[in-house]
Structure 1
Amino acid sequence: MRGEPPAGRELAVDTGLAMLVLVVVGTAITADVGHASAGPGMAAYAFGALLAVLMFARRRWPVATLLLTALTLIVYYGLSYPPIGLAAPAAAALYSAAEQGELRWSVATAGALFGISTTHRILEGDDLAYLLGFETGTTLGLMAAAIALGDGVRARRGWRAELARQSHAARLERERESARRVEQERLRIARDLHDLMAHTVSVISLHTDVARESLRDAPEVAERSLAAARSACSDVSRELRLTLGALRAGDPDDGPALGLDRLDGLVATAAAAGLDIDVRTSGRPVRLSAISDATAYRVVQESLSNVLRHADARRVRVDLDYGAGELLLRVSDDGRGAGTETGTDTGAGTGTGTGGGESRGWGLTGMRERLALLGGGLRTSSPAQGGFVVEASVPLEEHS
């Protein structure tokens, strides 16, 4: 019956219960074990049929079915028809009411039926030893079992429904978490592409200016500058292909692996543009997590790009200080400074950068956002003696 709709299964179950009640009651009527009954007859069997038909209403009207079953039994015994017991005819109705959450009605009806039946039989002079010693325990046990079974089925159904709700809620939460991660990954890729393009365009622009100015007087300098610009174009094209390939494959983590191990190439590119760069490392270098390593690289890259575009500097110093729990990055130049302090540890403001005014606000904002996600921070300042300083703290472990 696995392929039947729920309504079909319910009808089959109700039909089976009705047939069971009809058979049990009909057998008891036919047996006619009573000593002073009116004997089996069509009217007695009609009562049995009525008890069976009530099973088809037990789902929609459980309390009404229970009360009509109890009333039918009282009338039946009042007419002195053959005894059919008390628990067996009422068991299905008691079970149905308890299954539908009407536990109090089931218990109260069972107690009322038992009290009325026992009182009536005591008044008629039935053997008290048999009545109270044997039949009472059997009747109460059957009624209690029917009620307990119905309530257990209801509780189990509720438990399954709660599990289904929790599963649905968990699935929605996973979907929201997945969407959040996708959005974060898109922001990360957008920042990476911004940093990459800004740095490369700065290098190309500077080299083409040098080539233009020295084309007639120093062709060898112009040739070196054009070669450096061509190399920068090749590098950015390769990284763009890797990034787009990773996006098509559905795994952005397969993109170009950025980190401080590529710092020498970054410094060489900036040095080829005319900067004198001094890189100093202090403390005991440790291996950073992938995201921290990439963030540190991007901070240095963005800082050097800003120097090339805005600072009019000749010398740059890059300090990497590995401390307890964090890497302190410091990029300072001898160019024209901004004149005032322009950043705080974890703010998302649009600091101006090295003499660049609002032209570099988005780059610094991107660096602050990257570091804030890791639990780090960024500070920019313009010392009184000139130049500009970018200081970043990069946690050595990922921030949760």
Structure 2
Amino acid sequence: MSSESGRRAVAVDALFGFAVFAVVAIAVGSDVADPGVDEPLVVDRPALGYLIAVMLGALMFWRRTRPVAVLLATGVLIVANYVLDLPIIGLAVPLAPALYSAAEADRTRWAVGTATGLLLLSTGVRLAQGQDPAFVLGYELASTVAIMGAAIALGHIQVQRRRAGEQRMRIAELDRQAARAEAAERVSLERTRIARDLHDAVGHRLTVVMLHSSVAVEALEGDRPDLDTARTELGYVTDYSRAGLRELRSTVHALRGSDSEVAGTASLAYLDDLTAEVRAAGLTVDVRGRPERGDLPALVDATAHRVVQEALTNTLKHARARSATVEFTVDGEDLTVSVADDGATPAGDEGTGSGLAGMRERVRLLGGELETGPRPDGGFLVRARLPIGGPR
């Protein structure tokens, strides 16, 4: 609790205490007798009545920290006031602040129980003393119950308001946590997408550069270096390095733009360039059933290109294959892309790497399926099913 709110609470408690003291002190000073009593009470100790008024008012300073104790102490003082034949101070008004405080502290059962007990005690004693039942039950009881009930209800309303406020705060905190989690997830997904796009854009080019560099090194080794072959291979290295740099720049530029720009950095329209690079690296590639340009949605087109690119890159890096077949099949609302090679070892030996993981992520984002594994007759197969339905 802040110092300002603490001072405000003390001021409110002081007002409660003063109100209780004033009401009881006025009742003591007025010394009003109950109707229906043959002889008025004789008050020979007014100072004690004022002391009880002071004590009832002082109890209000503990109403927040000790609401039940304040309620019980107030009840005891009111009963003592009547047992000692002090001036009539009533029941409902002196007790109402304590009832409100107990209910406000979520001690409604204590408030209801104490009020009920005092009502039964007061009503029974007054009827036993011969007071008019019509006045006690018809007027006094109804007004007392109304005041007490209102005090308890007001306190209970404060509890409900406080709970509602706490619930709103919890909901707001949960919303903030959800927003932070969503933002973190977006960042993670964006990082994954960037990693996937950079891997696809640069990985293939670097693989081709590596293969041509290896051939150039082999051509320069030995007693009779093959300068013409080395020069040719290094020319490929230069060309593909430049192409990779251009593609990297295009990918970075696309990542700063929209998803359609990212998709535009890869397309089956560039499949001939891709297969030419692979053939130049020594792998025979046969392409069958390639869809015509514009027949596929942009994201499906880009994903199909990336699947072929990654599969052929893996073949070059791992399979030691001589040939590969790329086949496209449109069946209803699905495009099936298959890349099979005749390598001696599976191209998926590094199946836990980022290449196959990137393919799976791309295919899964479209709601498709990816199958990878060795072929029965040797080699390795990558097959992706891509849904092509929906707007293009």
TM-score range with shorter-chain normalisation? Answer: 0.7 to 0.9
For this pair of structures, how many residues does the alignment match? 371
TM superposition shift of 1:87: 0.5
| Correspondence for 1:172 | 177
> How far apart in 2 are the matches of 1:152 and 1:397?
57
- The gaps in structure 2 that reach 5 residues or longer are 35-39, 220-224
Residues 247-286 of structure 1: per-residue CA shift (max 9 Å, x gap): xxxxx86795135962222431431453555352469945
**Helix, strand or coil for the counterpart of 1:393?**
strand
> How far apart in 2 are the matches of 1:397 and 1:37?
96
Say whether residues 1:319 and 2:335 are aligned partners: no
C-alpha distance 388-328 of structure 1, shift in aligned 2 (>3 A)? same
| Correspondence for 1:124 | 129
- Asked if 1 retains the 8 angstrom alpha-carbon contact of 2:31 and 2:87, the reply is yes
C-alpha distance 254-19 of structure 1, shift in aligned 2 (>3 A)? farther
Report the TM-score, using the length of structure 2 for normalisation: 0.79
Say whether residues 1:238 and 2:249 are aligned partners: yes
Write the mapping of 1:121-160 to structure 2, written as runs, cut at 5 A: 121-160=126-165
Letter in 2 for 1:94: L
- Asked if 2 retains the 8 angstrom alpha-carbon contact of 1:332 and 1:387, the reply is yes
* Residue among 55, 60, 79 paired with 1:50: 55
- Asked if 1 retains the 8 angstrom alpha-carbon contact of 2:324 and 2:339, the reply is no
| Correspondence for 2:287 | 278
> How far apart in 2 are the matches of 1:53 and 1:221?
102
Say whether residues 1:391 and 2:390 are aligned partners: no
**Helix, strand or coil for the counterpart of 2:88?**
coil
| Correspondence for 2:68 | 63
- Asked if 2 retains the 8 angstrom alpha-carbon contact of 1:276 and 1:316, the reply is yes
C-alpha distance 188-397 of structure 1, shift in aligned 2 (>3 A)? farther
C-alpha distance 124-235 of structure 1, shift in aligned 2 (>3 A)? same
C-alpha distance 201-222 of structure 1, shift in aligned 2 (>3 A)? closer
Say whether residues 1:297 and 2:319 are aligned partners: no
> How far apart in 2 are the matches of 1:210 and 1:269?
20
> How far apart in 1 are the matches of 2:383 and 2:54?
91
Identity within the alignment, %: 35
Report the TM-score, using the length of structure 1 for normalisation: 0.78
* Residue among 67, 86, 95 paired with 1:81: 86
TM superposition shift of 1:215: 8.6
**Helix, strand or coil for the counterpart of 2:78?**
helix
- Asked if 1 retains the 8 angstrom alpha-carbon contact of 2:366 and 2:387, the reply is yes
**Helix, strand or coil for the counterpart of 2:267?**
helix
| Correspondence for 1:228 | 239
**Helix, strand or coil for the counterpart of 2:289?**
strand
Letter in 2 for 1:5: E
| Correspondence for 2:14 | 15
Letter in 1 for 2:370: L
**Helix, strand or coil for the counterpart of 2:33?**
coil
| Correspondence for 1:287 | 297
Residues 207-255 of structure 1: per-residue CA shift (max 9 Å, x gap): 5577887996589967974663254233234146437x74xxxxx8679
> How far apart in 1 are the matches of 2:388 and 2:18?
75
- Asked if 1 retains the 8 angstrom alpha-carbon contact of 2:328 and 2:335, the reply is no
> How far apart in 2 are the matches of 1:195 and 1:241?
12
Question: In terms of mean alpha carbon deviation, does 292-301 or 12-21 score higher?
Answer: 292-301
| Correspondence for 2:25 | 26
Letter in 2 for 1:110: A
> How far apart in 2 are the matches of 1:15 and 1:135?
29
> How far apart in 2 are the matches of 1:77 and 1:359?
93
State the superposition RMSD in angstroms. 3.7
| Correspondence for 2:198 | 193
- Asked if 2 retains the 8 angstrom alpha-carbon contact of 1:327 and 1:396, the reply is yes
Question: In terms of mean alpha carbon deviation, does 120-129 or 267-276 score higher?
Answer: 267-276
| Correspondence for 2:41 | 37
| Correspondence for 2:349 | 358
C-alpha distance 111-387 of structure 1, shift in aligned 2 (>3 A)? closer
- The gaps in structure 1 that reach 5 residues or longer are 247-251, 339-351
Question: In terms of mean alpha carbon deviation, does 64-73 or 2-11 score higher?
Answer: 2-11
- Asked if 1 retains the 8 angstrom alpha-carbon contact of 2:289 and 2:329, the reply is yes
> How far apart in 1 are the matches of 2:82 and 2:103?
25
Question: In terms of mean alpha carbon deviation, does 271-280 or 4-13 score higher?
Answer: 271-280
Letter in 2 for 1:112: G
Question: In terms of mean alpha carbon deviation, does 386-395 or 299-308 score higher?
Answer: 386-395
> How far apart in 2 are the matches of 1:384 and 1:128?
104
**Helix, strand or coil for the counterpart of 2:201?**
helix
C-alpha distance 4-49 of structure 1, shift in aligned 2 (>3 A)? same
Letter in 1 for 2:304: A
